[in-house]
Structure 1
Amino acid sequence: MVGKVDRNYWVPTDRQEAEDKATAFVVALRRLDLEFHDIEFQDLCDECRPPRTDYEIRIGRISVKEASEFAEKLDQALDQLAQYQKLYGPLEESTD
């Protein structure tokens, strides 16, 4: 009897989990209005020197101007968070 074929047939579970985390990372960056145009997901690589034993997210290169714009956006978000914490106290840890 032939077994059921699902996504695991093509993509190992650990890769799916890594893709999900990488996707969450990109979504979080976009929520902060940060867009990395050269971002890429890197697979494991036994043949690489040194071997890559974990999946990687590479954000690519950004210009000094982009770095400055990103820093400004991050600072604004952190300032808003600090203001919120002044008014309402520290955030509770996520249960995810």
Structure 2
Amino acid sequence: MRRAKHPKKEVEQALRYAEQHGWRVEPGGSHAWGRMYCPRNVPECRCGEFCIASIWSTPRNAGNHARQLRRIVDNCVFREAVGAECAEESNDGI
């Protein structure tokens, strides 16, 4: 089943970006539109501080909120580790 779209197009694009990088987006919540979860919620991942991010339904500035969500995905320790693993795998095949 597909998730509901976010009403702000900039935020929706950021959510799609997160999903492409393995993050899980779950709509629903009390004060937020939803949350996005890191693919690996491990203690080494900055003590779990950035493993869950709230998605606001009506951010004051949708562009800034979208950039913040992308920055969370880009700075994920797990994402950097995946990039290193991919590089190692490509070198093993030589």
More RCO (CA 8 Å, sep 6+): 2
Structure number with higher strand proportion: 2
- Bigger Rg over Cα: 1
Q: Give me the TM-score of the superposition, normalised by structure 2.
A: 0.35
